Structure 1
């Protein structure tokens, strides 16, 4: 730009990475002074081309050595004054915890490879996640605006039926050369029993740790090298989530296809996963929240897979063999239907073809076993658990409508009125009184069950008052009539939060989940207007219908626990 094309002045041309380990994210800044306004967008295009070129393999070992040598030279040749050196020591202590970060930095630099630099560019600079500021003389704006504008095509999400058993949710977005995908399969933990709880989930996640054509170590390295985001969640259904560059998508597909059809369940990966499971269990022993959750579930879901102890659940996983995983795969990894969501740099016809490809690679056999969803009992009692922790954990549980019930939306409104930073529960325990560290309602609804749970944590001396205040809020919503204005304000507040939070990073999963529940992929857009139709009478009726029997669970410190908070 300076020497060859002579488009940029040498003065005030610099680039730097502003990276601070105590901040959540860093930034890369490029500042330059163009010789002619007409060339500004051309210069940006050249910078983009250079970044893309280097991300494809232009870095060399010599480049890294030269940078290290320059860094060493600056350190040896520079002698700061006392004030400057004191300032540097202070910043090093704040950011790195040591007075001089030079040795630590050199160690990291010496370990870098050209591959590492390429991956950093692919991850942080290839996606056009940036702001460009053109500071031009008066009248220069008109020159820039007359230049050809970049065409950015973004479509609205749409639902497409691709055959009898394939639902596609598609959104074209060419602002970045990426593809985000979510695959929803009816592979469910509801086929588990108390005797094999956790095994279907464990098996499904292990499927993607290695297959016939993809060694586990090679697979891990490829995902890291290509900055691929990939995770699997297994519950009432299985969700397979990925995000990758468009250029990497063909390979990503083949990896998934091979995992669907030819998983190998490598022994080394099984051992690693078992070790992780065991460490998680051991950590849970010193976690008050996990201890309380186990106590609650063992009573509330007694006789069900969700009601077994953490120790038993860990034992089941530790006893699994490679042969067991193959048997579980053959028995439970089947799907007679699929929901696939694709956002990114694709045409609709491509997306439809991809959806059919994915469906064709999944076994369609009938799943063996008995489908047994969670059962929510009606219990009207208080249960006390004394444990070796100081904080008091508290739950109030009620049965609630399923997502398919007509009372579902009224219960959503109740959750909205009670919840949030402006909700009744927060104001009652944190705004008016200082009774809890936190308190919130959670309405969880699936096709097969629903429950409403208030969760809170406090100190021992405030436990009884907190419980009475929380139960009092439930009684108020049963006996008093809420205003339509309160309903509308609560709904609008929730809608604002949802609208600002959900981006193309979260929307694929959220839309897939809502479509799977039968609410429709566009439920986020519809929910506000639906909830505003709920009347104060609906709220009172539903509250009185479901908030009759409360299962209350309290975990509190044993008498010999030394309290830090009196």
Structure 2
């Protein structure tokens, strides 16, 4: 049992089969939210099978040995519940939300879907066609093109190099047997976390989960070892010609994982420092990039920064949409703002505002049952433990101007640059980009 900073008591139980149960009691509303995490996701896709986890998420709710897709939909919709699956870089997620009275039946249904999906051929074919359509649609979106090419350059043959949708080549070849093999490999109780929040007692929550999942046995084989390539920064410029109304400019930097020191020779404080710098640079209308490049200089239609939480090496990126004639100025403007982080310490006031913004948004993201179930299950499946809820706040609070500038100098020096725009905007860039 762990108490979160907002006085939420998180109960943790491990069943005999290794399945982890997390539960937060919240009697304020008659709603129970459940998040079921599997250590899978795109990170665990075999080479040449990009998009496999996404396709599995699309069809896992479409049939079991005893239920058709229509019967499943009727069971969910008849009680006004929500049930669905999704995949992320580091995990697979099955979500459920319903009123308390219907929760036992819906949890049992979720157990059937997770344990015994049938992957009907017709449903697999339909979802494969829809996925291919989505991939082709992304190939027409300038930001998606620029970000996709940037990701491929940064991650090369690492699983993170691909969109969760996969590619036309890989998705076209995926079969129901591939889905079955992936499911049999990773969907097992000792590789799973079930996180719940709502109007239940801790004892009742464990009893219900045990009823639906307690007799699930692990296969006799161990989970496969994950062999990933070692990533080293090799910055490059990627220019993609497309007749667009605006140029998309993205600067990317390899950055540490959430494991804080276990990858890229990171210092333990680097993850928190970069989270804070990401907030300072690109979070909201008061962020440095928005104020300096959009409000003061009028360069940007949109401008922001991102630093996703990843188990393996992440990426710190800043991006902008700008008028084609401003492309070169925009690239140099973005670089100057990022480079500034390594040359000019944040003032005490800048640091204070950024911390308040980041921690305030973090607190607001833990209000609903769904948010509570999500964040505690997410930390557990990443191997951070539910205590990371407290650790993260402490690490952000402890960041000093010196720690922030040290992290910036360590990671944000030489960027990968990806630009999509018309030929007239790209032609001078090879000579005009900052050294």
TM-score bin, normalised by smaller chain:
0.7 to 0.9
Match of 1:207 in 2: 60
SS at match of 1:445: coil
Task: Indicate yes or no: 2:362 matched with 1:508.
Answer: no
Match of 2:280 in 1: 417
| Partner Cα distance (1:252, 1:156) in 2 | 25
| Partner Cα distance (1:560, 1:453) in 2 | 21
**After superposition, what is the alpha-carbon deviation per residue over 1:159-182, rounded to whole angstroms, capped at 9, x for unaligned?**
323357343332223333321101
The answer to whether the Cα contact below 8 Å between 1:333 and 1:363 also exists between their aligned partners in 2 is: no
The answer to whether the Cα contact below 8 Å between 1:333 and 1:367 also exists between their aligned partners in 2 is: no
The answer to whether the Cα contact below 8 Å between 2:111 and 2:213 also exists between their aligned partners in 1 is: no
Where in structure 2 are the equivalents of 1:33-432 lying within 5 Å?
156-163=8-15, 165-235=18-88, 236-307=90-161, 313-357=167-211, 359-360=213-214, 362=216, 364-365=218-219, 366=221, 369-372=224-227, 376-405=231-260, 406=268, 407-420=270-283, 421-432=285-296
TM-score normalised by length of structure 2: 0.84
Q: Does the C-alpha gap of structure 1 residues 431 and 311 become closer, same or farther in structure 2, counting only changes over 3 Å?
A: closer
Q: Which moved more, 1:298-307 or 1:248-257?
A: 298-307
Q: Does the C-alpha gap of structure 1 residues 204 and 367 become closer, same or farther in structure 2, counting only changes over 3 Å?
A: farther
RMSD: 2.8
What is the CA-CA distance between 1:194 and the residue it aligns to?
Answer: 3.6
The answer to whether the Cα contact below 8 Å between 1:155 and 1:171 also exists between their aligned partners in 2 is: no
What is the CA-CA distance between 1:386 and the residue it aligns to?
Answer: 0.7
TM-score normalised by length of structure 1: 0.66
User: Which of these residues, 423, 426, 433, is aligned with residue 297 of structure 2?
Assistant: 433
Give structure 2 stretches of 5+ with no counterpart: 1-5, 261-267, 427-435
Give structure 1 stretches of 5+ with no counterpart: 1-153, 562-566
**After superposition, what is the alpha-carbon deviation per residue over 1:424-464, rounded to whole angstroms, capped at 9, x for unaligned?**
11111112111111111111232322221112211111111
Match of 1:492 in 2: 356
Q: How many residues align?
A: 408
Match of 2:432 in 1: none
| Partner Cα distance (1:311, 1:250) in 2 | 33
| Partner Cα distance (2:181, 2:306) in 1 | 37
Match of 1:517 in 2: 382
Q: Which moved more, 1:191-200 or 1:400-409?
A: 191-200
Q: Does the C-alpha gap of structure 1 residues 163 and 223 become closer, same or farther in structure 2, counting only changes over 3 Å?
A: closer
| Partner Cα distance (1:283, 1:417) in 2 | 33
The answer to whether the Cα contact below 8 Å between 1:404 and 1:447 also exists between their aligned partners in 2 is: yes
Q: Which protein, 1 or 2, shows the higher relative CO under an 8 Å CA cutoff with sep ≥ 6?
A: 2
| Partner Cα distance (2:351, 2:164) in 1 | 40
SS at match of 1:437: strand
SS at match of 2:307: strand
What is the CA-CA distance between 1:537 and the residue it aligns to?
Answer: 0.9
Q: Does the C-alpha gap of structure 1 residues 361 and 435 become closer, same or farther in structure 2, counting only changes over 3 Å?
A: farther
| Partner Cα distance (2:155, 2:341) in 1 | 27
